[in-house]
Structure 1
Amino acid sequence: MYGRKYCAGNMSYTKNVITLHPDSSIHDALLLMNNNDIKRIVIISDGNPVGIVTERDIGKFLQNDKTSRMLNQIHLDEIMSRNLFTISKDQDEILVQCAIRMDAFQISSIVVVDEEKLEGIVTKSDLVNNFSKLFTGLYKVKDYMNTNIITCRKSDSLLFALNMLNRNKISRLVVTDNDGKPVGIISYDTFLRNSPYFRSGAENTREYLLPKTSARGLFVNDVVGNELLTIGYNDDLAKAAKLMSEYKISGIPVVNENGDLEGVVTATDIVRAYHEVKIHAVIQRNDPHFA
Structure 2
Amino acid sequence: MKIWEVARKPRVVVTADIPATAVRAMLRDNEEPIAVIVNNEKEMKLVGYVTWREIIQITSHYSHLRAKDIALDWPVAYKDDDIETVVKRMEEEKVYAVPVVDSPDNPVVIGVASIADIVRGLMAAGFEPIAETVAEVMTTEDLEEYITYQDERVNKVWSDIVYHGKLGKVVVRSKEEPIPVGIISLREFVATGRWFFHRESERGLKSIAKVKTIMLRGAPVATPETPIQYVAKIMVENDFPILPVIDEETGKIIGVITIFDVARAYLEGAKPGRVKPAKKAALPIEVKPEERVTYATTQQVLQQVLVARPPVESLVGLSAAGIARAELPAVTINDTVEHARRMMLRYRTNYLLVVDEKGQIVGVVSKWSMLRAIGLKGPIWKRRVHDRYFIDYIMDTEIPRVKPDDSIEKVALMMAQSKAEVAIVEDEKGQPIGFITKDDIVEAYAQYMRGRARVENIMTPGRIGIVHPHHSLYHAVKKMQTFYLDALTVYDGSQILGVVSANRLPFVAYEDAVTGIKSRRLIWVRKLVRGAARKGRYVKVTPLLVLDAMVPLRNVYVKTSDDVVKAIELMKQHNVDGIPVVDEEGKVVGVVTKTDIIRELARTARLRIERGETVKVEERKAKPPEAK
Greater length-normalized contact order (CA 8 Å, ≥ 6 residues apart): 1
Give the match for residue 185 of structure 1.
Answer: 499
1: distance between equivalents of 2:475 and 2:607? 40
1: distance between equivalents of 2:380 and 2:575? 34
Match of 2:584 among 257, 260, 273: 257
Give the match for residue 20 of structure 1.
Answer: 331
Q: Kindly indicate whether the alpha-carbon contact (under 8 Å) linking 1:182 and 1:260 is maintained by their aligned counterparts in 2.
A: no
Counterparts in 2 of 1:119-138, with a 5 A limit?
119-138=433-452
Q: 1:189 to 1:242 in 2, by over 3 A?
A: closer
1:130-156 deviations in whole A, cap 9, x for unaligned? 1112122222111111114243333x2
Give the match for residue 82 of structure 1.
Answer: 397
1: distance between equivalents of 2:605 and 2:381? 48
Match of 2:487 among 172, 178, 181: 172
Q: Does residue 1:140 correspond to 2:451, yes or no?
A: no
Give the match for residue 409 of structure 2.
Answer: 96
Q: Does residue 1:236 correspond to 2:563, yes or no?
A: yes
Which amino acid letter does the alignment assign opposite residue 135 of structure 1? M
Please give the secondary structure, in 1, of the residue aligned with 2:464.
coil
Quote the offset at 1:220 in angstroms. Answer: 1.3
Q: 1:128 to 1:224 in 2, by over 3 A?
A: closer
Quote the offset at 1:52 in angstroms. Answer: 1.2
Q: TM-score, normalised by structure 2?
A: 0.37
Q: Which runs of 5+ in 2 are unaligned?
A: 1-317, 510-521, 527-537, 614-628
Which amino acid letter does the alignment assign opposite residue 597 of structure 2? I
Match of 1:40 among 329, 351, 357: 351
Quote the offset at 1:86 in angstroms. Answer: 1.7
Give the paired residue count. Answer: 262
Which amino acid letter does the alignment assign opposite residue 63 of structure 1? G
2: distance between equivalents of 1:187 and 1:128? 16
2: distance between equivalents of 1:266 and 1:219? 18
Which amino acid letter does the alignment assign opposite residue 28 of structure 1? H
Q: Does residue 1:151 correspond to 2:151, yes or no?
A: no
Give the match for residue 112 of structure 1.
Answer: 425
Q: 1:150 to 1:271 in 2, by over 3 A?
A: closer
Q: TM-score, normalised by structure 1?
A: 0.74
Which amino acid letter does the alignment assign opposite residue 551 of structure 2? V
> Percent of aligned pairs with the same residue?
19
Quote the offset at 1:17 in angstroms. Answer: 0.6
1:261-288 deviations in whole A, cap 9, x for unaligned? 11221112212323455678999x9xxx
Q: 1:48 to 1:215 in 2, by over 3 A?
A: farther
1:224-244 deviations in whole A, cap 9, x for unaligned? 325353111011223323433
Q: Does residue 1:269 correspond to 2:625, yes or no?
A: no
1: distance between equivalents of 2:480 and 2:447? 32
Q: Which runs of 5+ in 1 are unaligned?
A: 1-6, 196-205, 286-291
2: distance between equivalents of 1:99 and 1:222? 28
1: distance between equivalents of 2:398 and 2:366? 13
Please give the secondary structure, in 1, of the residue aligned with 2:439.
helix
Higher strand share: 1
Q: 1:246 to 1:98 in 2, by over 3 A?
A: farther
Please give the secondary structure, in 2, of the residue aligned with 1:249.
coil
Please give the secondary structure, in 2, of the residue aligned with 1:47.
coil
Q: 1:226 to 1:243 in 2, by over 3 A?
A: closer
- Cα RMSD for the two superposed structures: 3.6
Which amino acid letter does the alignment assign opposite residue 99 of structure 1? A
Q: Kindly indicate whether the alpha-carbon contact (under 8 Å) linking 2:354 and 2:361 is maintained by their aligned counterparts in 1.
A: yes
2: distance between equivalents of 1:219 and 1:277? 34
Which amino acid letter does the alignment assign opposite residue 40 of structure 1? Y
Quote the offset at 1:29 in angstroms. Answer: 0.9
Which amino acid letter does the alignment assign opposite residue 52 of structure 1? V
2: distance between equivalents of 1:80 and 1:16? 18
Q: Kindly indicate whether the alpha-carbon contact (under 8 Å) linking 1:95 and 1:122 is maintained by their aligned counterparts in 2.
A: no
Quote the offset at 1:218 in angstroms. Answer: 7.4
1:51-74 deviations in whole A, cap 9, x for unaligned? 112222222233234896436721
Q: Kindly indicate whether the alpha-carbon contact (under 8 Å) linking 2:337 and 2:391 is maintained by their aligned counterparts in 1.
A: yes
2: distance between equivalents of 1:139 and 1:126? 18
Give the match for residue 30 of structure 1.
Answer: 341
2: distance between equivalents of 1:37 and 1:21? 18
Counterparts in 2 of 1:191-202, with a 5 A limit?
191-193=505-507
Please give the secondary structure, in 2, of the residue aligned with 1:74.
coil
Q: Kindly indicate whether the alpha-carbon contact (under 8 Å) linking 1:47 and 1:118 is maintained by their aligned counterparts in 2.
A: no
Quote the offset at 1:13 in angstroms. Answer: 2.0
Which amino acid letter does the alignment assign opposite residue 161 of structure 1? L
1:11-57 deviations in whole A, cap 9, x for unaligned? 42222211111111111111111222222211112232101122222
Q: Kindly indicate whether the alpha-carbon contact (under 8 Å) linking 2:578 and 2:592 is maintained by their aligned counterparts in 1.
A: yes
Please give the secondary structure, in 1, of the residue aligned with 2:576.
coil
1: distance between equivalents of 2:575 and 2:502? 14
Please give the secondary structure, in 2, of the residue aligned with 1:189.
coil
Q: 1:67 to 1:11 in 2, by over 3 A?
A: closer
Q: Does residue 1:225 correspond to 2:570, yes or no?
A: no
Which amino acid letter does the alignment assign opposite residue 562 of structure 2? D
Quote the offset at 1:98 in angstroms. Answer: 0.7
1: distance between equivalents of 2:322 and 2:362? 26
Please give the secondary structure, in 2, of the residue aligned with 1:23.
coil
Higher helix share: 1
Which amino acid letter does the alignment assign opposite residue 330 of structure 2? T
Counterparts in 2 of 1:34-73, with a 5 A limit?
34-45=345-356, 46-65=358-377, 69-70=381-382, 73=388
1: distance between equivalents of 2:448 and 2:368? 30
2: distance between equivalents of 1:70 and 1:76? 13
Quote the offset at 1:161 in angstroms. Answer: 1.5
